[in-house]
Amino acid sequence: MEPVIKKKEDKREVFFQVYWSLLKKADKYEISSSVPSLGGIYELYYMDEKKKLNLMFLDWVWYGGLRSRLRRQTDSVLIYTPEHKKILENYDCYYRYSLSNSSNDMMDIIYFFGKSHFPDQDFEHSGRYDTIYLTEHSPQKIITV
């Protein structure tokens, strides 16, 4: 299945289906040659000493596309935040993505994921729906919500 986002609407409710790409180890050459320069959502993980994947970033990108964002977020030379730089220098990082051509849909999906994974942080939604439902489909059976 292609890594895309599908949706069904019913008045002020929406049901999103997020089909993720394969989870891949971050490598600047592989990202440059295989990740599309299209809009979408992405997750960035690092693997700790116990071989556990830890979610670092969850975001959406419109202008510039996924390729340039993932390339920048996974290169310790391009990162200036000390904590992020330290993680990139000391741990293997992994990413996955799903494509979308709607910035409002991506905003709603990140709102849903954000409230699940980072409840202390503020996330905005598009305001189009009263209720957002979501399911994930992952080739490697990595489901986070």
Instruction: Give the tens place of pLDDT for each residue, 84-107.
Output: 999 999 999 999 999 999 999 999
For strand 53-61 and strand 40-47, is the pairing parallel, antiparallel, or unpaired?
antiparallel
- Residue 105: name the closest of 2, 1, 9, 3 by CA: 9
Do 131 and 8 form a contact (C-beta atoms < 8 A)?
no
Confidence at residue 61, expressed as pLDDT on a 0 to 100 scale = 96
Count of beta carbons in the 10 Å neighbourhood of residue 142: 15
Look over the chain and give the mean of its residue pLDDT values, rounded to a whole number: 94
Going from N- to C-terminal start, the domains of the chain cover 5-137
Residue the block writes with tokens 């330290």 = 86
